Amino acid sequence: MTTNAHEIRVVIRVEMTREDVYSDSLRPLRFVIADYDMADGADDSELVTLATGDQFVALESVTSLDDFNYVAEVFAAIDNEVPKIDNHSKPIFTRN
């Protein structure tokens, strides 16, 4: 398998009530995790409503990390080749 050099790979890790977003890009990522499951029973102030009437909760406490090796390991585990790069993880985006 050939890896697309222009492709940014993202892993969204959910563990208990914590969500982290990892990428293999040094460029900052802007993202929203739209949780439709949490919409049931949420306060109106927590809901985001689209023009279609669909509602979801936008998760606020999400950390984005650039971690080339973690992303490569996850994609390799699902049978996709991704080159590993020596890099130290550091937060590039945090919302509380």
The pLDDT tens digits of the residues spanning 37-82 come to 888 888 888 899 999 999 999 886 676 778 888 888 888 888 765 5
**Of 18 and 71, more confident:** 71
Query: Is 90 within the bounds of a domain?
Result: yes
Query: Is 80 within the bounds of a domain?
Result: yes
pLDDT (average), residues 80-92: 51
Instruction: Give me the percent of the chain exceeding a pLDDT of 70.
Output: 74
* Containing structural domain, residue 67: 10-32+61-94
E-only strand ranges, 24-70? 34-35, 47-49, 55-58, 62-66
What single letter denotes the amino acid at residue 73? E
Task: Supply the pTM of this predicted model.
Answer: 0.59
What single letter denotes the amino acid at residue 35? D
Query: Is 86 within the bounds of a domain?
Result: yes
> Tokens 């940014």 identify what position?
8
* Number of independent structural domains in the chain: 1
Tokens of 96: 């509380």
